[in-house]
A and B are shown apart, each in its own frame.
Chain A
Amino acid sequence: MSYTGDAMTRKLVTFKINGSSYETAVREYDVLLDVVRENLNLTGTKRGCDFGTCGCCTVLVDGRARLSCLTLALECVGKEITTIEGLKTDVLHPLQQTFADAGGSQCGFCTQGFIMTAKAFLDEHANPSREEIEEAISGNMCRCTGYIKIVDAIEMAANDKRNGC
């Protein structure tokens, strides 16, 4: 068994994340989750399984929801990456507000994954049914809430958007 580990050559590349450019050294096999959390200290994105099964690590790549634990970092060079930190303004993002209002977050560990998934979905679906919302978040896992308040939150955000608030 040959050990490659950290010794393998790193490449200096630039990522576009949340509207800024970050230069960092990555290896071919590094996944986006590691780069975001370890290299760039954007720790809002969480690691729940490292296996593509929980959705905690969801980020947006060119506006589409991707599991960053299964996405090779080098694949994302030149693309727009958005993490939960990228939604920050002075006020809560509408989804953040409805998650807070509806009680869609308990321990909080899954929350940013749901919000990123929901954002990608609502950006493309102005008028979703509850079933469509469920379909959209079916790859995200939450062990605390039983999902009802999460679906409520996304529905509220969709309604608010439609009603222009």
Chain B
Amino acid sequence: MKHIDAATHTRGESQYIDDVPQPEGMLHAAVFGSPIAHGRLLTIDLDKAREVPGVRTILTADDIPGENQVGALIADEMLLAESTVHFVGEPIALVLAETPATAHKAAQMISVETEALPVITDPRVAFEKGEIIGATRTFVLGDVDQAWKDCDVVVEGSCEIAGQEHLYLETQRARAVPREDGCLQIYASTQSPYAVQKGVARILGLPHHKVEVDVKRLGGGFGGKEDQATHWACLAALGAQITGKAIELVLPRHQDMVMTGKRHPYSSDYKIGLKQDGKIVAYEARHYQNAGAAADLSPAILERTLFHSTNAYFIPNVRAFAASCRTNLPPNTAFRGFGGPQGMFVIESAITKAAETLEVTREEIQLKNLLQDHDIFPYGQQVHDANIRRTWQEAEKSFKLKNLQKRIREFNDNHFEKKKGFAIMPICFGISFTATFLNQAGALVHVYTDGSVSVSTGGVEMGQGLITNLAKIAATAFGIDEARVKVETTNTTRVANMSPSAASATTDLNGNATLAAASEILQRLKSFAVKELNLSHPERLTIEKETLLFEGKETGWTWQKLVQSAYFNRVDLSAHGFYATPGVWFNKDKEKGHPFAYHVFGTAAFEVTVDCLRGTYEIDKTKIVHDLGRPMNELIDRGQIEGGLAQGLGWMTLEELKFDDQGRYLSNSLASYKVPDVFFMPDDLEIKLLENVNNTWGPYGTKAVGEPPLMYGIGVFFALQDAMRAFRPEMPLTFDTPMTPEKVLMQLHRDEIEGFKTDSDVMADHQEQPVKETE
């Protein structure tokens, strides 16, 4: 089934917030943000800006009628700064004017006096200074301290993992429209309508029911609009409440990049111990998460890093520690994978280093330690249906990986400056929100008397195909044509208290809620029909292709007739369905539980060619075997895998976030921040779906697909390293992402650039640096 919006998308008729005709008298908002990363805010000068013709008013923190607070998990983030600013771009004032251009012009004329305070950009420095958000967390399995003794080899190292800009093509935006009796209607580009409703109510001091949030679709979200869409909607709402006019706020690309958080950079240390045969005995990791200036979702993201710290491997002794460190960067936030990818990168780095020391391939260690059924994760959950070995073997077999590796070796023997590299990346990703209470969803289904169906859920369509899947789920449940089903906007008055569309769980949760509502209506219809048809056993009635069957035989009733007769006999044709994932729980005191309904598995293999004199490279081949359960909609699911892979590859190779030591964002436009373009994608990409897998948790046996494929991208980093090692085996390589062509060159020719240094020299240099600076 095609994307349900395919026709309107391709005709340019799909409306995003600012495509909808403006309400009469609507004003446009522009945000003035902090010019410095940390300091006291002494004065704000609005006079010049006020004089600009067309400016109606300018709002600051003093104008907020409710609580000046947008911190959802921890109350540590103001909507508009009061006495202190904590990152460059932190909103200070909101200009409301007749046109967007006027609003932005005026915002540029605002000036502030500040007194600079020390700026921290490095999470390790923040940690040392005690700038820690929430509690530090440690997951433990077995006894690592004892286990080191049993290891034949123990290696240690560190990783510097870069963040990533979301770059949804539709920037953050919201429109707030005042309604009668002090109510507000908010159109927001948010993955979390309820978070916006709560946020606006808090800022304005209103009960939730006075704020209605409606979301039609997002031009991409990827996590960047899970928590951080709230701020912009709150600002628009504040303007609307104060002026009584509709307000629209659209962040220009540059401001969107400067003011919003990104994927978290991590600085991590690892230590891994193995037996000579490659069996991993013990693993320790310490993660310092660069949270930016406020908590945002960082504590939850930190937790997912720990949940994924051993990726797809069973390791009997583990200690994984993680701290969320407060720095003066924009508050970092959710991004596809939600901390999982960083945890997985570190274990893959540890395995790579161990393979070098043991003089075996990475793949030997990986394969030896892959999860098997009933193995235990450090968080106490047993793995079931561990399809990881199946995906690995399937990849080896159908892509003839052994031959591939042989050809790569031959190529490398015969080429000097061009070297090929190879890596396999297995993934294991847990599905469910790790905050157990979020694993709930509601759906409201109406059947109209003409037989058409309306479905509302708490899920948000952001390109992932949710509404197409929901239409298919509802149509399948009723036994009717998909064209009869319309999926409505996501609206807080139809479905309340929804969880964000995140954690890959949106189709699982909302699909199951839709099924619950549909089966309620079906039950009523069948009880009614058996009476009318003088039959018994309503459960023997089915609807197939819009025809009502009894024990498989035609009854002479169509769907339409069934619905119409039921209506005239006063049968309720609407139902609200509810779903709560059964069996998931987690005890934070013990750091043990059963947080995930299930896991998604898969294996990717990469072949790359690196020009070792120029640093440039190509991704020649990417071969993936992915576990989708029973795919509901292959076209959409494959699109998710390809898109996720592209983002993962970009994160590992091209996408380089640059901040200076004063917390100024240097890669603040699409000209300086490079994301994959059409040339970047592997020429030879093959995706196989694992066959004969069922999943009892997903609607009709499906598995979640949104996030996991991103993590395949990690493999390309190690494939590049493999090629680099073929060129200069003696050169120590660092685990710093992204592996830009520049970094390839700098690492391969470090001796010519800075005189040859060993790994420990380089580490010692790093440690000396702060001392030098204070001299």
Q: Write the residues of chain A forming the contact surface with B, with a CB cutoff of 8 angstroms.
A: 1, 3, 5-7, 41, 43-46, 48-51, 53-54, 56, 83-85, 87-88, 92-93, 95-97, 99-101, 103, 105-112, 115, 134, 137-138, 140-151
Write out the residue numbers on chain A whose beta carbons fall within 8 Å of the beta carbon of B678. Answer: 134, 137-138, 140, 147, 150-151
Tell me which of A45, A85, A103 contacts B636 (CB under 8 A): A103
Write out the residue numbers on chain B whose beta carbons fall within 8 Å of the beta carbon of A87. Answer: 11
A11 vs chain B, min Cβ distance (A) = 17
Q: Knowing A92-B10, A110-B169 touch, does A7 contact B218 (C-beta < 8 A)?
A: no
Decide if A143 touches B642 in the complex (CB within 8 Å): no
Q: Knowing A83-B12, A107-B463, A151-B678 touch, does A146 contact B52 (C-beta < 8 A)?
A: no
Write out the residue numbers on chain B whose beta carbons fall within 8 Å of the beta carbon of A106. Answer: 3, 463-465, 639, 643
Write out the residue numbers on chain B whose beta carbons fall within 8 Å of the beta carbon of A134. Answer: 678-679
A-B contact pairs, 12 of them (CB 8 A): A3-B53, A6-B102, A53-B669, A56-B169, A100-B2, A101-B2, A108-B217, A143-B168, A143-B220, A143-B647, A145-B639, A147-B677
Write out the residue numbers on chain B whose beta carbons fall within 8 Å of the beta carbon of A84. Answer: 11-12
Decide if A142 touches B669 in the complex (CB within 8 Å): no
- Bound form: Cα–Cα A158–B218 in Å: 30
- Bound form: Cα–Cα A49–B673 in Å: 12
Q: Write the residues of chain B forming the contact surface with A, with a CB cutoff of 8 angstroms.
A: 2-3, 5-16, 18-19, 21, 52-54, 98-99, 101-102, 105, 109, 166-171, 217-220, 222, 252-254, 462-465, 635-636, 638-639, 642-647, 669-671, 675-679, 681, 685
Decide if B679 touches A100 in the complex (CB within 8 Å): no
Decide if A5 touches B101 in the complex (CB within 8 Å): yes
Decide if A107 touches B679 in the complex (CB within 8 Å): no
- Bound form: Cα–Cα A149–B637 in Å: 12
Decide if A53 touches B167 in the complex (CB within 8 Å): no
Q: Knowing A106-B465, A108-B217 touch, does A115 contact B685 (C-beta < 8 A)?
A: no
Write out the residue numbers on chain A whose beta carbons fall within 8 Å of the beta carbon of B639. Answer: 103, 106, 144-146, 149
Write out the residue numbers on chain B whose beta carbons fall within 8 Å of the beta carbon of A3. Answer: 52-53, 105
A53 vs chain B, min Cβ distance (A) = 4
Q: Knowing A44-B12, A53-B670, A141-B169 touch, does A105 contact B253 (C-beta < 8 A)?
A: no
Tell me which of A1, A95, A107, A151 contacts B170 (CB under 8 A): A107
Tell me which of B7, B53, B169 contacts A5 (CB under 8 A): B53
Decide if B16 touches A5 in the complex (CB within 8 Å): no
Decide if B675 touches A141 in the complex (CB within 8 Å): yes
- Bound form: Cα–Cα A50–B7 in Å: 26
Decide if B679 touches A138 in the complex (CB within 8 Å): yes
Write out the residue numbers on chain B whose beta carbons fall within 8 Å of the beta carbon of A7. Answer: 53
Decide if B643 touches A146 in the complex (CB within 8 Å): yes
With both beta carbons as reference points, the residue of chain B lying nearest to A98 in the complex is identified as B10
Which 5 pairs across A and B sit closest by C-beta, in order of nearness? A44-B12, A107-B463, A109-B219, A108-B9, A84-B12
Write out the residue numbers on chain A whose beta carbons fall within 8 Å of the beta carbon of B2. Answer: 100-101, 103
Decide if B105 touches A108 in the complex (CB within 8 Å): no
- Bound form: Cα–Cα A141–B646 in Å: 12
Residue pairs across A and B with CB atoms within 8 Å: the count is: 176
Write out the residue numbers on chain B whose beta carbons fall within 8 Å of the beta carbon of A99. Answer: 6, 9-10
A27 vs chain B, min Cβ distance (A) = 10
With both beta carbons as reference points, the residue of chain A lying nearest to B54 in the complex is identified as A6
Decide if B669 touches A51 in the complex (CB within 8 Å): yes
- Bound form: Cα–Cα A108–B2 in Å: 13
Most buried by B among A87, A100, A107, A137: A107
- Bound form: Cα–Cα A46–B635 in Å: 25
Q: Knowing A6-B53, A41-B21, A137-B678 touch, does A96 contact B10 (C-beta < 8 A)?
A: yes
Decide if A50 touches B253 in the complex (CB within 8 Å): yes
Decide if B19 touches A51 in the complex (CB within 8 Å): no
- Bound form: Cα–Cα A2–B760 in Å: 57
Write out the residue numbers on chain B whose beta carbons fall within 8 Å of the beta carbon of A107. Answer: 168-170, 217-220, 462-463
Decide if A108 touches B14 in the complex (CB within 8 Å): yes
A67 vs chain B, min Cβ distance (A) = 12
Decide if A111 touches B10 in the complex (CB within 8 Å): yes
Decide if A143 touches B169 in the complex (CB within 8 Å): yes
Q: Knowing A43-B15, A92-B11 touch, does A103 contact B101 (C-beta < 8 A)?
A: no
Most buried by A among B12, B21, B463: B12
Tell me which of A6, A96, A151 contacts B101 (CB under 8 A): A6
With both beta carbons as reference points, the residue of chain A lying nearest to B462 in the complex is identified as A107
- Bound form: Cα–Cα A7–B465 in Å: 45
Decide if A105 touches B642 in the complex (CB within 8 Å): no
Write out the residue numbers on chain B whose beta carbons fall within 8 Å of the beta carbon of A49. Answer: 253, 669-670
Decide if B3 touches A112 in the complex (CB within 8 Å): no
With both beta carbons as reference points, the residue of chain A lying nearest to B170 in the complex is identified as A109
- Bound form: Cα–Cα A103–B646 in Å: 16
B248 vs chain A, min Cβ distance (A) = 12
Decide if A100 touches B6 in the complex (CB within 8 Å): yes
B770 vs chain A, min Cβ distance (A) = 37
- Bound form: Cα–Cα A92–B10 in Å: 8
With both beta carbons as reference points, the residue of chain B lying nearest to A101 in the complex is identified as B2
Q: Knowing A49-B670, A50-B253 touch, does A112 contact B12 (C-beta < 8 A)?
A: yes
Decide if B102 touches A5 in the complex (CB within 8 Å): yes
- Bound form: Cα–Cα A112–B12 in Å: 6
- Bound form: Cα–Cα A134–B676 in Å: 13
- Bound form: Cα–Cα A105–B636 in Å: 10
Tell me which of B98, B166, B169 contacts A109 (CB under 8 A): B169
- Bound form: Cα–Cα A41–B15 in Å: 12
With both beta carbons as reference points, the residue of chain B lying nearest to A86 in the complex is identified as B12
B108 vs chain A, min Cβ distance (A) = 9
- Bound form: Cα–Cα A97–B3 in Å: 12
- Bound form: Cα–Cα A101–B7 in Å: 10
Most buried by A among B462, B646, B669: B646
With both beta carbons as reference points, the residue of chain A lying nearest to B640 in the complex is identified as A106
- Bound form: Cα–Cα A88–B8 in Å: 11
Write out the residue numbers on chain B whose beta carbons fall within 8 Å of the beta carbon of A88. Answer: 11
- Bound form: Cα–Cα A49–B109 in Å: 23
A107 vs chain B, min Cβ distance (A) = 3
Decide if A148 touches B10 in the complex (CB within 8 Å): no
Decide if B645 touches A146 in the complex (CB within 8 Å): yes
A83 vs chain B, min Cβ distance (A) = 7
A112 vs chain B, min Cβ distance (A) = 4
A90 vs chain B, min Cβ distance (A) = 12
- Bound form: Cα–Cα A37–B170 in Å: 15
A147 vs chain B, min Cβ distance (A) = 4
Write out the residue numbers on chain B whose beta carbons fall within 8 Å of the beta carbon of A1. Answer: 109
B174 vs chain A, min Cβ distance (A) = 16
Decide if B252 touches A50 in the complex (CB within 8 Å): yes
B489 vs chain A, min Cβ distance (A) = 15
Write out the residue numbers on chain A whose beta carbons fall within 8 Å of the beta carbon of B52. Answer: 3, 5
Write out the residue numbers on chain A whose beta carbons fall within 8 Å of the beta carbon of B167. Answer: 143
- Bound form: Cα–Cα A138–B638 in Å: 22
Decide if B11 touches A96 in the complex (CB within 8 Å): yes
Decide if A144 touches B463 in the complex (CB within 8 Å): yes
Decide if B169 touches A46 in the complex (CB within 8 Å): yes
Q: Knowing A51-B669, A138-B679 touch, does A112 contact B10 (C-beta < 8 A)?
A: yes
- Bound form: Cα–Cα A101–B1 in Å: 9
- Bound form: Cα–Cα A87–B7 in Å: 12
Tell me which of B3, B11, B105, B218 contacts A103 (CB under 8 A): B3
Write out the residue numbers on chain A whose beta carbons fall within 8 Å of the beta carbon of B169. Answer: 46, 48, 54, 56, 107, 109-110, 141-143
Most buried by A among B14, B52, B101, B219: B219
